[in-house]
Amino acid sequence: SSTMPPKAPPPAPRKPGRVTVYRAVYPYTAQHSDELSFEEGEMIYVQEKQADGWYRATIGGKSGIIPGNYVEADGNAEAIDNPLHDAAKRGNLSYLRESLAAGVSPNALDKAGSTPLHWAARGGHLECVQELLGQPTVRVDVQNKLGDTPLHNAAWKGSAEVVLALLEHKADRSIVNSNGETPFALAKAKSPDCAR
């Protein structure tokens, strides 16, 4: 009787890691069929830095590999620390969608402890707020270092539509910030129309 060789264990599922984002400073032309080409200014979303020196990445909605040494070489690409925050601040919906599609976390924190939702709410960017609220993992009541939630930011801005969108997603209106203010108190002080 022949003995069967032991079956190899199935490969461990890849855990989604932190996506590293770069803006290409110089173009690159793919040398192989599984490589990606990119133009100057294109966003490069690196999902995995492989041991063999290749990066698994998404560029313009296409997935493939790129040479890590090209991306890391001095001056070839500029690292973007918080692409979703950047998109949310500027109300840039297409950039926001591209970053989300490439796996950037909607709950990433910047140096002030703010999420992209804080910035979209603060800017009154309703479409960006709605896109972020549509993410299944988004956290609505994160408090930044000032104790503000996105609802505080929307109330401070006086953006009634954003306030309503956040409330529809069960934002907690009772959270107080570092100054002891609720979102309603901020709205009353900054823009009485919004408080109504």
Do the domain assignments include residue 101? yes
Do the domain assignments include residue 14? no
Same domain, 92 and 185: yes
Whether pTM > 0.95 for this model: the answer is no
Do the domain assignments include residue 164? yes
Same domain, 66 and 136: no
pLDDT digits (tens, 9 = 90+) for 36-72: 999 999 999 999 998 898 999 999 889 999 999 888 8
Shortest CA distance to 144 belongs to which of 170, 169, 116, 168?
A: 116
Q: How many domains does the chain have?
A: 2
Across 125-139, average pLDDT: 97
The pLDDT score that the predictor gives to residue 193 is: 61
Do the domain assignments include residue 55? yes
Output the average pLDDT for the chain: 88
